[in-house]
Structure 1
């Protein structure tokens, strides 16, 4: 959701962009309906700077207790970018001033220059499909990973997150408590072929 100070009457769904992208300099480009409250706020501000915060919630694509994997906040200055969206839509540019992430890997501020230099994880477009496939078609193999964590009383195992560096799995005990374990790949994977090899090696190690 794009939060603009003073914009209190907008419904939550009106604050969610139809399209989101990141420019080469790290600026965020957000497309909204032209009559949305966010666009009106940016238009009425004219030459004044409009402060805004993009709040991002990352939800696991599989059914698992505590499905929110993380949140991020990107704050900066909002301006209109006329002529760059389809009819009836308006593009907004959010120049990044500060960013903060709180997720399964930890909580930290993100330097805007580091954000601009960052590249997408090569698995990001496939993660949802891959996790759902692992959970539905390879549940028995995923459960083998219990042997690598040596924890008793586990009754449920769900693949939770996947990136170039490894797989994160959520284990559920009989008493309802959960814990996560991360299984790092020997080397970062850059495509699906390398991922298949890395997953094969991981399951082989778990089966021993």
Structure 2
């Protein structure tokens, strides 16, 4: 959701871009309908710097207690880019001034230069499908990973549900819950970062094999 001065009164659906992407210099490109509040504000501002904040909410693609995995905020200055979108659309450019994230791994500021240089995780476009597949087709094997926790498995929670929560090149995060809202997460790191889905399959097989011994 893109928050700009004067647009607070509009519903959140009017503030959500149709697409977003990151340019080579770290700028964020946002596609909106031409009559969207953010477009009107950016067009009206013309040469003035229009402050804006892009708020992103990361929701787990599987059903788990507390499905929001994290939030991020990118603040900066918004300008319109006429001629960069099709009819009835307008492309907006957000120049990044500050960024921060608060997710399963903790809260932190993100340096704009680091943001510009960061590369997408190689599994990012596959994560939703992979987590849903693990949950639907490999539930017993995912549950077996709890045997790797040893004494940590208890943690005051009588485990009933075991659901894969997040997946990236470094490892798999699983949420254990008792079905009444009490839960804890555990991350299983791969021996080395995976570079594609093929390497992920091998890493997952090794993880499942370790849980069986």
Tell whether the structures are fold-level matches, with TM greater than 0.5: yes
Q: Which residue of 1 aligns with 2:161?
A: 156
Partner Cα distance (1:40, 1:79) in 2: 11
1:117 aligns with 2:117: yes
1:186 aligns with 2:210: no
Q: Which residue of 1 aligns with 2:210?
A: 205
Provide the TM-score with structure 2 as the length reference: 0.96
Residue aligned with 1:125, SS: coil
Post-superposition, which runs of at least 4 consecutive aligned residues in structure 1 deviate over 4 A? none
Residue aligned with 1:119, SS: coil
Alpha-carbon spacing, 1:95–1:174, altered in 2? closer, same or farther (3 Å): closer
Shift of 1:9: 2.5
Alpha-carbon spacing, 1:160–1:173, altered in 2? closer, same or farther (3 Å): same
Q: Which residue of 2 aligns with 1:104?
A: 104
Residue aligned with 1:128, SS: helix
Shift of 1:10: 1.6
Q: Which residue of 1 aligns with 2:147?
A: 147
Q: Are the equivalent residues in 1 in contact too, given 2:65–2:181 (CA < 8 A)?
A: no
Q: Which residue of 2 aligns with 1:172?
A: 177
Unaligned runs of 5+ in 2: none
Partner Cα distance (2:135, 2:129) in 1: 10
Partner Cα distance (2:9, 2:146) in 1: 49
**Aligned residue pairs, count:** 208
Q: Which residue of 1 aligns with 2:82?
A: 82
Shift of 1:149: 1.4
Provide the TM-score with structure 1 as the length reference: 0.98
1:195 aligns with 2:200: yes
